[in-house]
Amino acid sequence: MSFIKMTISSRHNVLITGARGLIGTALIERLKSTKCSLFCQSRADHNSTSRIRWIQHNLVTDSWTKRRLPVIDYVFHLAGQTSIYEAKKNPVADLESNILGLLKLMEYLKTQSHCPIVIITGTATQAGITRKNPINEKTRDNPCTFYDISKLSAEMYLKQYIKEGWVQGCALRLGNVHGKRQDSQNINRGILDKIYLQALSGKTIKVFVKQTCKRDYICIDDVVSALCAAANNAKKTNGQTFYIGSGKGTSIGGAFRHVISLAALKTGKRVKIKNVKAPGGLSEIENRNIVIDSSKFKRATGWRPNDDFYEQLTQKYA
């Protein structure tokens, strides 16, 4: 596994949007070891320190000004709406969160005295339901949810800004990210944590997705290393899209059973998994099979993931 730090100096300013999320908090911890100035956007107010300046800002409704934000060298745009069901319920709000928020930020960035590097995160599901695995950058995009449409659109806007010469950057389409969720973060984005907590409490695990469906689980440390690697190799990654995954497919049932076993080591009791009827309106994307080929990103940056998923879980819940 690559543990990659950003090659960055004290002269550089870094902006992280969505800084209170799973990836944002982990990225902050990694960048603390550098000498850069960190500017962290959140919709909630937080106390700033000598190293980290928190900016309470709504990306959709608020405007960026030079008084609020200095000249930025690197942007990690991690903010956005993340639920396929919320996107279906309110496509306009999803568009505003995932596209308008990015556009307002880039409109400000293009007025800077020099061109910043903008790295955005997307999802492997932007490709839609794929029949062949592994998927990579040659896989045809065929999004089947409103959420994936908005994420794909944001990616296309970024590339157009890059073509215009207003920013530099790239898009990383992530597999299923796992890592310890913080209390302030969306519980729907940490399904393995949710299963583990249910198992600890002795609750039967109810599953309505096919347990044989495979996911490409990638740990948060590898995702943060990928973000740093993309920034460190900006000339090689500029204007491109990359898939980021472990390269291995793990069945949902296998992942859940391992998490339940780890909980049983602490409680002395192993809970059961029960298949239940899927709720109405379940998206077809839930029953996808996906494995990611990250060869293109590896060649461009030298990044390597830890593909031992079960070892990662064991360490995580030890």
Structure confidence by residue, pLDDT tens digits, 227-252 = 999 999 999 999 999 999 999 999 99
211: exposed, middle or buried (Cβ count in 10 Å: 0-12, 13-18, 19+): middle
For the chain, the average pLDDT equals: 92
**Percent of residues, the chain, with pLDDT higher than 90:** 77
d(CA 81, CA 83): 6
Residue 258: inside a domain, yes or no? Answer: no
CA 259 to chain CA centroid, nearest Å: 21
Q: Residue 229: which CATH number?
A: 3.40.50.720
Helices (H), strands (E): how many in the chain? 11, 13
Q: Does residue 273 belong to any structural domain of this protein? A: no
pLDDT value at 182 more than 60: no
On whether residue 194 sits in a domain, the answer given is no
Lowest mean pLDDT among 5-9, 93-97, 181-185: 181-185
Which structural domain, as residue segments, surrounds residue 63?
13-180+219-245+292-305
Q: What percent of the chain has a predicted confidence (pLDDT) above 70?
A: 96
Instruction: Read off the pLDDT of each residue in 173-177 and give the average, rounded to a whole number.
Output: 96
pLDDT, residue 1, reads 57
For residue 102 the two structure tokens come to: 């990015």
Give the pLDDT score at 302.
96
Peptide bond before residue 134 is cis, with ω within 30 degrees of 0? yes
Are 40 and 73 within 8 A, CB to CB? Answer: no
Q: Is the confidence at residue 181, as pLDDT, over 70? A: no
Whether the pLDDT of residue 77 is over 90: the answer is yes
For 78-118, the pLDDT digits (tens) are 999 999 999 999 999 999 999 999 999 999 999 999 999 99
CA distance 105 to 80: 13
Rounded CA-CA distance 150/103 in Å is: 12
Is 224 domain-assigned?
Answer: yes
Q: Is the pLDDT of residue 307 over 80?
A: no
The reply to whether 211 falls in a domain is: no
What Cα–Cα distance (Å) separates residue 212 from each residue in 113, 128, 207, 255, 312?
52, 18, 11, 10, 21
Query: Which region among 13-17, 34-38, 158-162, 223-227 has the lowest average model confidence (pLDDT)?
Result: 34-38
Instruction: Tell me whether residue 132 is in a domain.
Output: yes
Number of separate domains in the chain:
1
Q: Is residue 60 part of a domain?
A: yes
pLDDT, position 242: 98
Residue 167 lies inside a defined structural domain of this protein: yes
